[in-house]
Structure formats: C-alpha cells, structure tokens
Structure 1
Amino acid sequence: MTPDLLIDRARHRRISRVWTTKMACPLRGKSFRCFIVTRRSFMASHATGDGGIPPRDAAKRGLTRIMTLGGAYGTRNYTVKDLLDQKGQKVLVETATFSPEEAAAAEKAGIDTMKVRFDPSHPDLAVAIRKAAPNTFMAFSVPLVAAASEVDAVRLAYDAMALGADAIMCQWSPRFVSAAAEGGVPVQGHAGLVPRKSTWTGGLKAVGKTLEEAMWVYREIKALEDAGAYAVEVEVIPEKLLAEISKRTTLLTSSIGAGSGGDIQFLFAEDILGNNPPPYPRHSKQYRQLYKMKQEMQAERVAGFREFIDDVQQGRFPEPAHVVDAPDDLIETFTHTVDRVE
C-alpha cells in the first residue's frame, strides 16, 4: 500500500490522503487498484497543541481566537485583517527569529509579528519556533528555489500553513504569489533589494536611487498587490521613496533598511541581539552584544578547564572537602583481608 496526495488543482486545495492497494475482484477473479480516500485532519497541529477550542476570554488577554489554514484552533495577537486595519494608523514591529529561545523572548517582549525560515525538508526548527511563540502572528519564509511551478508554490505554501504559519513570506514572481493567494494563503512578497536576486540590481547595494529604479520598485510592489499579496518586505531603498510608495499601495510595507516610511519596522533578531561578529548591516542596530557575551563565556570555559588541569597536576584537587572518608579500622581490616586472600 502506498500513500499519495490528491490535490484539487482547480482550487489549489489539499483535500485528502489517498492510499492505493491491489485487491481481488470477487466477480471476475482479477486484481484491480483500489483507491482508499481519507480526509486529512490537522486539528491537533504541531503549532497549537491539542486542537481544543480556545477559551472565550482570549480577548481579555488581547488575543483573537483563530483557526489556522491547516485546521487547528489557536489564539493570535493579530489576524491579517487586524494588520491591514493598522495601515497608516500605527507602525508595527517585526523580527525574524532563528531559535525557540529568541521567539519566546520576542513574544514576551511584545513584538507584533515574526518571520521564521521554513525548510520543507527539515521543518522541525520552524515548528519549534512556532510552538515557542504560539500567540504571535508568524509568517514562514519559504525557499525561493523550492517551487518551480504554481502547483509547487501552492503545495509549499500549504505545507507551511499546515504547520501553523499565519502567512508565508517569499521572493516569488507575481504568478506564483497569485496561485498561493488564490488558494487562501496570506502572502508577503519581497521588493527593492532582494539579496538572492541581487545580480539583477547590481549586487548587494541600495536600489531605487534613480528614477528608473524607483519606478521599477513601484511596479514590482503594485504587481504583488495585483497578485493578491497582503504585504511586501521592502529592503534597502531610499526612505522617502518608501514613504511615497506606501501611500500608493494597499499592501502593508515592511521596511528593512528603508527608513521609517513603511507600515512595519523590521530587523533580524540576530542583528538586534548582536549574535554575530562585526561588520553588521548598515541599516541595523545592535541592542545587545550576545556575540561578545558568547566569546566571554567561551574564554571563561577555557580558563575553567585550564585551572582544573593545573589543580590536578599540582595536587590541589581533590581537596579534603571533595572526598569521602572511611574509618581507619575499616581500611586496616580491608587491606589485611585482601592481602590474606591473595
């Protein structure tokens, strides 16, 4: 018996799991292939626990009761509608976390939205991060080269949503974005400097400093809007340009290195926390120096091992406080007994 996936391509909707097996026909004595279809259930999602309906007092805690596209109940600080309602009203704060510890800290600090990298071949980290921040609106960033067609894009988007994502973030073309959006997936696109496509814009540098480039960025964003995206990450373009574009699109604009003119201010957790050694991106700010702290901790580890080695070699360890004493008569009796036996 082999599993396969049945997809309603007309609506790009994952509908069931199909098992096939060969069975004997009682009338003709011939074998035939039988399709056994079972409805997939995601009610007990990896992301949201046992799938129980959230308590009705969620609103008192500033949360909204939701059901994920994968079919699991949960609570979130924002829905897509909530986020869109904030456009032009409030600047939201977003980060991308790379560990469950970072995600839990970001949620506790009150971050509005998060992104997490989603590797479809190894989804465990994304699932763990989702579980660490169960109440925060979270977009899974899907790999650019993992989808080679609209069907691939929808399948990949659904895989992310089934694990508890509230949206996906991608660098796809409007055609792929449209396919996922038509399937009901909230999609955030990417415009301006898209590092993985930077060969088209002259490398890892600012985009939009000429009229031609500015118009290109604007058209890219409008194309994503027409494709059905709800948001766009806009990277390293002039601040005033983003402010003007943001006024002219219904998309939520998430600014990273593009100044304060967007609807969302976005920085990676590794930059906020100073996880890596310098140099840092020009547009980033380090609010903590965890790399320095980790280096100091490593130096302390080395020093501790060296002191241990030295103490042993110099006879300073173990000390009397570290050993177990035995009565003198026990040792005397023990040695006498052992010597007699031998």
Structure 2
Amino acid sequence: MHKSVYDIIKKKKDGQKISAITSYDYTLGSLCDKAGIDILLVGDSAGMVMLGYENTIPVTMEQMCMFTEAVSRARNNALLVADLPFMSYQASIEDAIKNSGMLIKSGADAVKLEGGNSMVKTISAIVDIGIPVMGHIGLQPQTTMLSQGYKVQGKTKDSAIKLIQDAKEIEEAGAFSIVLEMVSHEVAQMISETVSIPTIGIGSGVGCDGQILVVQDLLGMFEKIKPKFAKRYLNLNDDILKALENYKKDVESGVFPAQENWFSMDNDELTKLRN
C-alpha cells in the first residue's frame, strides 16, 4: 500500500522530515520508489529535462498524463503527485477540475498547481470534489519566470508578508502541502512554523518540513541548468558519456560484440545448413 496525503501530513506532526523527488519515467521512478522516497512528483519540468524545451510553458496535458502514467507504474510505496501544466487550470475552475481528473485517472494521488491568493478558489474547488492539492508559491516557473525571471522570492518585508499570507490562504483552501521554491530561508522557516500543513522546499533552506530535487539534477545528468540549490550526489553525465564513447570504440574496433554477447546454432544443425 502506497503512502497517502495523511501519511505526509502526519510526518510533519511527528517532527519527521519529508523526502520528495521530481521524476518523469519508469526506470528512474522505480529506483526513487525503491529508495523509500516519500513523494514522487511528476513535474512539468519534464518539458525541459525530458523534452528539451527552454521552459515549462509548452508542456501539454497529454504529455503530463503520459509521464504520470509511466511513474505510476513504477511506484509501489511513494505518494504520487502530478503538476497541472501552464493554462490547464488558470482559465477556469472547470478546466482545473477536468484536468485534475485526467491526472488522477493517469495514476496520480494528488495534483500540484502554482499560485497564492489568486488560486485559492481553484484549490478549494478541486479539493471539494475529492482530489488532494499541493500548492506552490515563491518562484513559480509558469508565471514568475515570465515577469521577473530567475530570482529569489521573499527578500523584502512586503514580499515576505505576501508569501506568508498566501501560504495561510492555501492551507485554508484545503491544500495538504505547499512547495516553497527559491524563498529566502528565513521566510520559508516562518511559513513552515505558521501553517500546519507540510512545506516542501526547493532552494528555500533547511527550515522547511521536507525537500525536493529533480532526480536528474541530483544524479548529475542534466547539464543545461545547474541551480545553486541542487546538490549533486553523483556526476553521471561524465560517466555516461565515457561509457558511450567506449561503446563506440568497441564497435568500430570489433571488440563488441564478443562471443558472450551473441547466440549460436546447434553444431549439427549448422552442419546440415552448410551441406
């Protein structure tokens, strides 16, 4: 039986930190789940990491459903949350409910959407039909990036107060947790101490109730962007590149395939064939 939103909420109540990973495919999703990660997030960052887009804006519902289905087949233990992509929920509450339902049908246990006060009614409507919602404030790749670029949030008193108010309203709307992305660590800690639901930080300091990273960043597989907050536990990019170069050399020199890599006929049948 995999984790539920109540298991995640209980971890905060019990003073236990929450581990989360953004994952997009069956292979890495299986490893993340096997490692005991609490939350697998199928993020719309798949557009950049898996599809090569410049940002998350072009990602479609169909693509998010495909990635969600893949990761859902991989997990046995983790809670599975899927992102609602850009313009799948902003235009109307009806769109938000319909598209949330599509992600749940694709295997998600909950959905995530970006925005504070402006999204409170939408969050409440999705929760009212029985779909758990994870909020997301601070740097919002779908919107903040368009207007402000890549910058830390909550560095002034007024912006900090707005973030704290947004977090409270998201909680009151019924969300079960909130992602805090690139929020100053002081403000992230204040939010975490203010709301009763778990906060999941990314670039927002140790005061959050949990942390999330993109698995390709953690493993050192994605070179296009190297955010400061993404600790690299491995540097697989170099190792994979070296392995591929060695494969190419072995093919060109005839070292690969070797006898242990191919299949043979029975000698009697081979003799008959030659005759």
Same fold (TM over 0.5): yes
- State the TM-score, normalized to the length of structure 2: 0.80
Residue 302 (structure 1) shift:
2.5
Give SS of 1:261's match.
coil
Superimposed CA distance per residue, residues 57-93 of structure 1 (whole angstroms, 9 cap, x where no aligned partner) = xxxxxxxxxxxxxxxxxx21x2212211221511111
Consecutive unaligned residues in structure 2, runs of 5 or more: 45-59, 256-263, 266-270
Give the equivalent residue in structure 1 for 2:136.
Answer: 190
Give SS of 1:277's match.
coil
- Does the Cα contact within 8 Å between 2:68 and 2:108 map onto a contact in 1? no
Q: How does 1:47-86 map to 2 (within 5 A)?
A: 75-76=1-2, 78-86=3-11
Consecutive unaligned residues in structure 1, runs of 5 or more: 1-74, 312-322, 325-329, 335-342
Q: Aligned equivalents of 1:153 and 1:240: distance in 2? A: 32
- Does the Cα contact within 8 Å between 2:68 and 2:103 map onto a contact in 1? no
- Does the Cα contact within 8 Å between 2:181 and 2:203 map onto a contact in 1? yes
Superimposed CA distance per residue, residues 136-180 of structure 1 (whole angstroms, 9 cap, x where no aligned partner) = 111011213123210111111111112221111111522211110
Q: Which moved more, 1:97-106 or 1:170-179?
A: 170-179
Give SS of 1:128's match.
helix
Q: Aligned equivalents of 1:212 and 1:200: distance in 2? A: 21
- State the TM-score, normalized to the length of structure 1: 0.65
Q: Aligned equivalents of 1:259 and 1:142: distance in 2? A: 25
Q: How does 1:68-107 map to 2 (within 5 A)?
A: 75-76=1-2, 78-88=3-13, 89-107=15-33
Q: Which runs of 4+ in 1 moved over 6 A?
A: none
Aligned residue type for 2:235: Q
Q: Aligned equivalents of 2:215 and 2:205: distance in 1? A: 18
The root-mean-square deviation of aligned C-alpha atoms, in Å, is 2.6
Aligned residue type for 1:153: A
Q: How does 1:53-202 map to 2 (within 5 A)?
A: 75-76=1-2, 78-88=3-13, 89-117=15-43, 119-122=60-63, 123-147=65-89, 148-172=91-115, 173-199=119-145, 202=148
Q: How does 1:276-287 map to 2 (within 5 A)?
A: 276-277=222-223, 279-287=225-233
Give the equivalent residue in structure 2 for 1:213.
Answer: 159
- Does the Cα contact within 8 Å between 1:193 and 1:201 map onto a contact in 2? no
Residue 135 (structure 1) shift:
2.4
The answer to which structure has the higher helix fraction is 2
Task: Name the count of aligned residue pairs.
Answer: 242
Residue 282 (structure 1) shift:
0.2
Q: Aligned equivalents of 2:107 and 2:156: distance in 1? A: 41
Q: Tell me if 1:300 matches 2:226.
A: no
Residue 275 (structure 1) shift:
1.1
Give aligned-pair identity as a percent: 25
Q: Aligned equivalents of 1:281 and 1:162: distance in 2? A: 33
Q: Aligned equivalents of 1:244 and 1:224: distance in 2? A: 15
- Does the Cα contact within 8 Å between 1:117 and 1:126 map onto a contact in 2? no
Give SS of 1:242's match.
helix
Q: Which has the higher contact order (CA 8 A, sep 6+)?
A: 2
Superimposed CA distance per residue, residues 86-129 of structure 1 (whole angstroms, 9 cap, x where no aligned partner) = 21511111001121111110111111111014753243332121
Give the equivalent residue in structure 2 for 1:253.
Answer: 199
Give SS of 1:196's match.
coil
Structure-2 change in CA distance of 1:262 and 1:103 (3 Å): same
Aligned residue type for 2:88: A
Give SS of 2:142's match.
helix
Q: Aligned equivalents of 1:126 and 1:80: distance in 2? A: 17
Q: Aligned equivalents of 1:277 and 1:300: distance in 2? A: 21
Give SS of 1:115's match.
strand
Aligned residue type for 1:205: K
Superimposed CA distance per residue, residues 234-281 of structure 1 (whole angstroms, 9 cap, x where no aligned partner) = 011111221111111122100000011111111111111111126511
Give the equivalent residue in structure 1 for 2:219.
Answer: 273
Structure-2 change in CA distance of 1:289 and 1:237 (3 Å): same
